[in-house]
Amino acid sequence: MAHSKTSYVCLPCRASYKQRYVGDHERICPRCAGVLIHVGSAFAPPRRRDTAGWRTLAVLLNAGVRFHKSCCGGPGYRPRTLSEVRERMAYARTTGEPFARALVRREVP
C-alpha cells in the first residue's frame, strides 16, 4: 500500500511542499533553510503573489489551525479572507471563545 503525502509550508518563502509523513521530526525549507510547518493532507496553498491569502494562512497556522482530513473527506471550514479572520477574532474576544475554535466557525452569530 502506498503512503500518502502531506503538505508542509514555509511562510517566509510562501512555498508549499508535499512530502511523505515519516514522523514529527523537523523538515527544512530548501529555499531559506527555515523550519517547515506541517499543515495536513487537505491543504491547498494560495498563489505565491496572493499576499492577503498568505497573511490569512499565517494567522490560521499561528492559532494552531491545520488542514487534516476528517471522516467526511475534508478539513471543514477555513476562512479565506482577512475580513473573515477579523470578524471571527472580534467574536472570540467578545465571547472568550478560543481563537482556534472561532476561526473554524462557518458562521459567526
Q: How far is CA 5 from CA 34, 74, 82, 101, in A?
A: 20, 15, 29, 26
| pLDDT (tens digit per residue) in 14-54 | 999 999 988 888 999 999 999 999 999 889 999 999 999 99
pTM for the whole structure? 0.84
Q: Where are the domains of the chain?
A: 5-103
Parallel, antiparallel, or unpaired: how do β-strands 5-10 and 37-40 relate? antiparallel
Q: How far is CA 45 from CA 7, 14, 37, in A?
A: 9, 9, 13
Q: Are 104 and 85 in contact (CB under 8 A)?
A: no
Query: How far is C-alpha 6 from the geometric centre of its chain's CA atoms?
Result: 12
Write down the pLDDT at residue 32. Answer: 96
Residue carrying the nine cell digits 475534508: 74
